[in-house]
Structure 1
């Protein structure tokens, strides 16, 4: 079908039993008024009738999957929806606790590379008259922005509107795709080649710790923390929502010229500081977060189009206003640097950082010797601004479920939706004990900023 881009192939090369590289989302829905006990079962019966799939949901690695399949896509014409779409029920009492545990287990399992790389779980029996959807898609197929576009396209913006599941192909899309690399693919590869030299040079400076050496906005390398250790394949997931206006108001009170994303990073900074202090593990130097930055064009809806900004979180500072000011300065510096680079340079730089992470995990002992480039990934993905519906059921929240990695055992990702910031935290069960307490620390951190 076509070559896999360098950025996308990294997520296939990096994957192992200990390092699943799929992303996901847990969507919480309120049952419509007067819905009967068969509502979710009927919804399952309905979505499984959509057997004409978008190309993204028919892709799988070419055979043999452990070699050629890491550089070349093939496409299945006959996809077994009964494998990909699951109807499940929570054990009673069906609290959010049970739901998060279900998603934690499902997110720990690898996707089958002999089939298209996605799953869709309908989960009934959530308390307070609710049900949930957990969907996962391999990161080689889509980044966070592309995934959010898929989610939005599968829901209706009115309570009585109609919608089709995220894998369903619109009637106007051609049935067959070209089997050879398109001119656009060839052009993209040429851009990667041209960008390789400058991107490698930039990453070399980061690895050597020379970037930001004289700039307090970005001290490098990052300190070693309890998160920068080898991880297992078992995951824990926690999630909660905060009103966007509350977060914005906290930033206005601080008066640092902060964006919503800056204040979110400051929430994470305070929470990480409090968590590490509780484990007597706060380093003297500030933590550094890798912050994904989208360079996606408006008309693209698949693959990965991201770079990374490195942000000084100021976790060594006890004053929340000082931490926020440090974050604002660091992110402004990173944005100014990216403004001088092409999209291909930004993407290849991101792929280089991901490849370095892969090398760290693949070669025993390297991770304990090489200083980490970043301590964790913190991401903020723009989502729908208005409420969305699935067969009349209102989506109450849309929590991202992302990827921890070897020597980056914790990931914090937020998605904006209908006036809230829905935050999902994913970590290795072994490396990040008591991960759910990070939710309490996030609330404490926001209150401290207020």
Structure 2
């Protein structure tokens, strides 16, 4: 098996009981009209009986499963226990979404077994409304949240009559785009080395330009300007998850009326909800919260470079110190525009380098006393991942919702991830169970914040 890339091994080395390092997904389905009482049981037995279809990626486990400094390579598990990785479970009555989210919270807080391939999949029956759910999790060392969402979508169909759909672990990997003929020769290698050296040499000047921009423009943000908040503490291993969806047309109406981006409106929703939530707890900082927002680099990359890590990071002022929603929205819009402009003239490598500097403090957060004595680089991560614009089906069951679960870190006790699906925006909120109390209240605050924006700008 191949050597483990350094970034993959770092996710394994950073993991502990307090810091599970897997991403997850909760999917809700409507049973097909012709589904019998054993519909889900039959799917479960067909899944566990088909070990041969499991792709090599989902057979990988660390060569040294015990936490050590030797986890630098993968090995393939030739004794895969499908009944361990695939589970069939049921919700307690009355089988509401509340019970589903409680179960999902517990499942997301448990560690994956390093003696086995690092993934699990649960079929969940007993959900009210003639529905069922699936919960899956995969270690970040195998794939990130965006990759897992893309893979999950490829396992689904736009045709409700397709009844032989593969599970996620049986979907063949996407082929890399073919390179132009004649590529890969020594001249191209030298040119790539020269370009990479120029990129690396440009990182320091790019950092200086970003700092100068921050000094000139009031709405711009640099790391460590964030105030300390209840989210910026050491965390425990238990998780709480909350999820809800909103019609994308409501968000698009605000975007059209203001000339903003869809993501600006989503950030404003989160800003208003966070302000209400922290005021309710008597914990709103005097200075505005700062969010780290991942941005896609695929538009800046060539077709042949489109695989791999294609995400950078910007910092956005959420304006939570402002009472007026219109003023908050302007603050967010200006801050995001300035941050994106600062990246516009940089190469993908330079953006990744600067983003790495932004994220670097998270690597030191587990060190004793670091979180307590160091200002947070930002207050939370808010990411928005595009999904399928068309309704999807799995073995005749219509996908009603697809909610992402992410990774809280020490010093970052709350993560908000949004994905689009069909005509809805699906919000997934993952928090430390101890340090983010009453997480589900943020869902009501998100609705209030959206209504507040509609009243202010429409």
TM-score of the aligned structures, taking structure 1 as reference length: 0.89
Unaligned runs of 5+ in 2: 176-183
Work out whether 1:312 is the aligned partner of 2:317.
yes
Matched residue, 1:289? 291
Matched residue, 2:144? 143
Matched residue, 1:128? 129
Matched residue, 2:180? none
Matched residue, 1:271? 273
Write the deviation string for residues 14-56 of structure 1: whole angstroms up to 9, x where unpaired.
2111011111110000011131111111111122233222232
Unaligned runs of 5+ in 1: 174-181
Report the Cα offset of residue 353 of structure 1: 3.9
Work out whether 1:41 is the aligned partner of 2:30.
no
Matched residue, 1:381? 385
The separation in 2 between residues aligned to 1:300 and 1:3, in whole angstroms, is 21
SS in 2 for 1:48: helix
The separation in 2 between residues aligned to 1:62 and 1:204, in whole angstroms, is 42
Report the Cα offset of residue 198 of structure 1: 5.5
Q: Is the 8 A contact 1:377 1:410 kept in 2?
A: yes
Deviates most, 66-75 or 44-53: 66-75
TM-score of the aligned structures, taking structure 2 as reference length: 0.87
Deviates most, 138-147 or 433-442: 138-147
Count residues with an aligned counterpart: 434
Q: Is the 8 A contact 2:151 2:171 kept in 1?
A: no
Work out whether 1:364 is the aligned partner of 2:368.
yes
Q: Given the superposition, is the C-alpha separation of residues 353 and 55 from structure 1 closer, same or farther in structure 2, using an over 3 Å criterion? A: farther
Deviates most, 9-18 or 133-142: 9-18
Report the Cα offset of residue 262 of structure 1: 0.8
Report the Cα offset of residue 114 of structure 1: 1.9
Q: Given the superposition, is the C-alpha separation of residues 37 and 198 from structure 1 closer, same or farther in structure 2, using an over 3 Å criterion? A: farther
Deviates most, 221-230 or 70-79: 70-79
SS in 1 for 2:378: coil
Q: Given the superposition, is the C-alpha separation of residues 357 and 204 from structure 1 closer, same or farther in structure 2, using an over 3 Å criterion? A: farther
SS in 2 for 1:290: strand
- Which of 413, 418, 422 does residue 409 from structure 1 map onto? 413
Q: Is the 8 A contact 1:237 1:427 kept in 2?
A: yes
Q: Is the 8 A contact 1:250 1:446 kept in 2?
A: no
Report the Cα offset of residue 268 of structure 1: 0.1
Write the deviation string for residues 99-143 of structure 1: whole angstroms up to 9, x where unpaired.
000000000001112211111110000001100000111122222
Matched residue, 1:393? 397
The separation in 2 between residues aligned to 1:104 and 1:302, in whole angstroms, is 31
Matched residue, 1:179? none
Report the Cα offset of residue 13 of structure 1: 2.6
SS in 2 for 1:356: helix
Q: Given the superposition, is the C-alpha separation of residues 326 and 397 from structure 1 closer, same or farther in structure 2, using an over 3 Å criterion? A: same
Write the deviation string for residues 182-241 of structure 1: whole angstroms up to 9, x where unpaired.
99xx99x989888666557867998xx876233222244111111000010010000000
SS in 1 for 2:419: strand
Matched residue, 1:176? none
Matched residue, 2:106? 105
